[in-house]
Chain A
């Protein structure tokens, strides 16, 4: 069965540093992968989408890489701020582009002043 793994332990970093979160998956070849931010008691908010034929995508302080050989995506937040503290979820499309997503459990990021 498809499996998505994200670091279950919280990531604690100092303000201004780069946060790097990992998403690994098995048993599937997704057409694209998405990253979402989720705050406690709230629904996820879309951040970035990267397609299988793209190696890297950037949006302001965010950068996502996608290695389909390693079956891994890395999510970077540069110049991190306390306001970036949240849980970050990765999600894979599992029906060949029909927008049916399977989510990882998320990694909680805490940025300390």
Chain B
């Protein structure tokens, strides 16, 4: 099956710094990638949708200047959390779609901001 990787799996950073999370589709070309955030015991919340070579579409309430998304190629998307604060601590998950209805999820990145 299709494999999506995320890096890093865990990151701890100080308040005010920026953190970049990578999402890669390893064995297929992802026309669309999605970024989600999940708080404990809650559902995945879609943050943004990105298509290769174009600007990401952000969901209502998600600050585009804080969560920078770059989808530079058909196999790589990055999410940068800028000027991170403790309330940004969460589990960030990406998914990739090759054009059909299935989304293939990465293993997630646990971000802790101290």
Residues of A within 8 Å of B45, CB to CB, are: 103
The answer to the question of A42 belonging to the interface, with a C-beta cut-off of 8 Å to chain B, is yes
B44 and A32 contacting across the interface, CB-CB below 8 Å: no
Residues of A within 8 A of B104 (CB): 46
**Which of chain B's residues has its CB closest to A87's CB?**
B41
Chain B residues with a Cβ closer than 8 Å to the other chain, count: 25
Contact with B along A38-57 (1 / 0, CB 8 A): 00011111100100000000
Taking chain B's interface residues, is the majority helix, strand, or loop, or is none over half, making it mixed? Answer: strand
Q: How far is the CB of B54 from chain A (nearest CB, A)?
A: 14
Query: A residues bordering B, Cβ < 8 Å?
Result: 4, 32, 34, 36, 41-46, 49, 89, 93, 97, 99-106
- If A4-B43, A46-B103, A106-B43 are given as contacts, then 8 extra A-B residue pairs at C-beta distance below 8 Å, sorted by A number, are A34-B101, A36-B105, A41-B108, A43-B4, A43-B105, A45-B105, A46-B102, A99-B97
Q: Could you write out 25 A-B pairs with CB less than 8 Å apart?
A: A32-B101, A34-B101, A34-B102, A34-B103, A41-B91, A41-B108, A41-B110, A42-B108, A43-B4, A43-B93, A43-B95, A43-B105, A44-B105, A45-B105, A46-B102, A89-B44, A97-B101, A99-B101, A100-B46, A101-B34, A101-B46, A103-B36, A105-B41, A105-B42, A105-B43
